[in-house]
Amino acid sequence: MPTAEHVMRHAAERPSRLAVCGPKARLTYAELADRVQGAARHLLGRGAGPGTLVAIGLRDPVALLTAALAADLAGATPLVGDPSWSRARWSRLLTPETADAETPAADVSAPPPATDTVLDVPAPFAAGLVVDVPLPYASGPPVWHEPKPQDLAWACVTSGSTGRPRAIVRSRASWTDSFEHLSELAGIGRDDVVLVPGPLVSSLYAFAAVHALATGATALLPGRRPSTAQAAGATVVHLVPHLLPDLLARAGSLRAAVVGGAALGPGPREQAARAGVRVMSYYGATELSFVAADIDGGGLRPFPGVEIEVRLPGAEERRAPLGEVWVRSPWLAEGYLGDAAGPLRRDGDGWVSVGDVAEPYRSGGALRVRGRGDGAIQTGGATVVPEDVEEVLRKVPGVADVVVVGTPHPSLGAVVTAVVEAEQAAPPPRALLEAAARDGLDAAQRPRRWHAVPSMPRTPAGKPARALIAARLADGDPLIRRLA
């Protein structure tokens, strides 16, 4: 995690400033720096250092952050994973070239490797360790690794809801050099208290935590949805859109919100404005980091240093209204660990894409992203972007969230299907949902099948798990009921 040097500097300048506050610990910058130093000495004693990968699966967010900072200080590359992962899950992540091999049944339910177990890892790493209990403190002289922009300083896991896990490797500069830009756009400073209301296995929340520490602010790490008391002390929050309305009602001291992971509708932004909360929403991807930001509700504009192209289809498909988003910037990831397969593609001129689609774009204008191209629904010869349908249906009173997927149809190929999560115990009447669809959507976009779910399954980042929802629909999950 590329912030150890910042923590050491803040510990020297403001040692008594509260650095992190979690469920089990509150540490000043001086205390955090001391713990990181001791943990780094332990890792070095176990063989960690430049060229090694340190896989971290800890439930307590302060212990996790300490271990990641210690790995960074030792010159290793931290990889934050889920503490519930089995040995087989870690193995598939760290050695993706063997992911298609059949895993023995005994391994699937086996516990994760013991702490400090040496792992097989792919190039460019020479060795790997896994940490699944808080690191012990080792005494000794101060540890220091001279940080370089090209260091592989961070590895994070994609938040895909199903399928093969992938780890994405980043250079130090691809994170640290964007810190100042985010601080300026969002208005975050060293005196802020930054709430991070989600698991650090998500790159969205991990970035929020390390940015707070790099800035010299206090990071509140509840490890789960925060209580009213925890939220009340925050001045800034990083979160996904569906959490914003509830937090606005509970966090009296909040003055700024950084919102990512999905599109932010006008309703929550207007609610934030009434509460006096400045909102910066952004579009990006784990592989791309920041791509575009909206600081005033006027639309997404390129994040500093980012070039954007929306490449339209060929001449024979000119009627298609959408193109593919391509990006060139300093914030791009190096790639997938072990050359795992994934959506990231590159051309010969430094441009990359993960397959997101958007309306035609001109430099200086607003970027209107319409979703991931491979999530589009082909129905009766028409192409439907799920996010367009979801945007309309989220405005229906009583809808807390909605996911739109394609479900198989014998003649149309697929039909548009909506799965609604209700704000209260009962979802809105189907007639009300259909009326909203008629008013706001073209005929091909309107859902033909309607379902309700008591609680929407979500990825670690808090986004609706679209692929998992589709799979549960296909399997006839009894918790997803048909709306009559």
The SS3 of residue 365 is coil
Q: In CATH, what class is 4-215?
A: alpha beta
Q: The whole model's pTM is what?
A: 0.82
Q: Per-residue pLDDT for the chain (484 aa), expressed as one digit of tens each?
A: 568 999 999 999 999 999 999 999 999 999 999 999 999 999 999 999 999 999 999 999 999 999 999 999 999 999 998 888 776 677 777 776 544 443 322 232 334 444 555 567 888 898 888 898 899 999 999 998 888 999 999 998 875 433 456 899 999 999 899 999 999 999 999 999 999 999 898 889 999 999 999 999 999 999 877 777 777 789 999 998 888 988 888 878 999 999 998 788 888 899 999 999 999 999 999 899 999 999 999 999 999 999 999 998 764 444 457 789 999 999 999 999 988 888 899 999 999 999 888 999 999 899 999 877 667 787 876 778 888 899 899 999 999 999 999 999 887 888 999 999 987 778 899 999 999 999 988 888 999 999 999 999 887 677 888 888 888 898 899 999 999 8
Whole-number pLDDT of residue 318:
45
Give me the DSSP letters along 255-282. -EEEE-SSPPPHHHHHHHHHTT-EEEEE
Burial 70-90 (b: 16+ CB within 10 A, else e): bbbbbbbbbbbbbbebebbbb
- Helix (H), strand (E), coil (C) string for 377-389: EEECCEEECHHHH
- CA–CA dist 429, 447 (Å, integer): 14
Measured distance CA(231)–CA(368) in Å, rounded: 32
Ordered by start, the domain boundaries in the chain are 4-215, 376-482
Integer angstrom CA distances of residue 452 from 318, 325, 425, 427: 37, 32, 11, 7
Q: Which fold has domain 376-482?
A: GMP Synthetase; Chain A, domain 3 (3.30.300)
